[in-house]
């Protein structure tokens, strides 16, 4: 059973870069069975897909965020990461990492989520 855990700063200043890491346990991040994704949820609102990365490093980003997002994978640490540049208050959200089963495109395993607040 895959387990995922987000880590990173809970407070980021406007115009700076948000950086989060997701550590995967119970399975290999090299598995071709999964994409590794980030999903966010502003307080009191719905879910928004941020982007995904395959085991081979191919990336896919939400077009509305594409110019600011980078997702990368570190196979040696069984981790993948999210960087979001030039943040504003509208980027304040709970950020979730998830394992997406490639065959059906469904996120079967999620991290617990981490709240990132953008404020000076």
Partner 1 sequence: DIQMTQSPSSLSASVGDRVTISCRTSQTISIYLNWYQQKPGKAPKLLIYAASSLQSGVPSRFSGSGSGTDFTLTISNLQPEDFATYYCQQSYSTPLYTFGQGTNLEIK
The binding site for partner 1 (CB under 8 A) comprises 35, 37, 39, 46-49, 52, 54, 60, 62-63, 96, 100-102, 104-108, 110-113
Which of 1, 67, 81 minimizes the C-alpha distance to 36? 81
Q: Go through 53-92 and write b for each residue having 16 or more CB atoms within 10 A of its CB, e for each that does not.
A: bebeeeeebbeebeebbbbebeeeebbbbbebeebeeebb
100/118 with CB nearer partner 1: 100
The residue (of 11 and 47) whose beta carbon lies closer to partner 1 is: 47
Max Cα separation, the chain? 42
Q: Between 89 and 115, whose beta carbon lies closer to partner 1?
A: 115
Write down the least CB distance from residue 15 to partner 1, Å. Answer: 27
Tell me how far, at minimum, the Cβ of 14 lies from partner 1, in Å.
26
Residue 23 or 54 having the CB closest to partner 1: 54
- Least gap, CB of 120 to partner 1 (angstroms): 26
Looking up tokens 């809970």 gives 10
114, 4 in Cβ contact below 8 A? no
């Amino acid at each position: 059973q895959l387990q995922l855990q987000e880590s990173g700063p809970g407070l980021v200043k406007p115009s700076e870069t948000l950086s989060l890491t997701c550590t995967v346990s119970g399975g290999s991040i090299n598995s071709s069975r999964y994409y590794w994704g980030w999903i966010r949820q502003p307080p009191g609102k719905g879910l928004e897909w941020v982007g995904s990365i395959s085991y081979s490093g191919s990336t896919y980003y939400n077009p509305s965020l594409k110019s600011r997002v980078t997702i990368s994978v570190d196979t040696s640490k069984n981790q993948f990461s999210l960087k979001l540049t030039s943040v504003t208050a509208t980027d304040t959200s709970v950020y979730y990492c998830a394992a997406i089963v490639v065959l059906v495109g469904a996120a079967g395993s999620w991290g617990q989520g981490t709240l990132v607040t953008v404020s000076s």
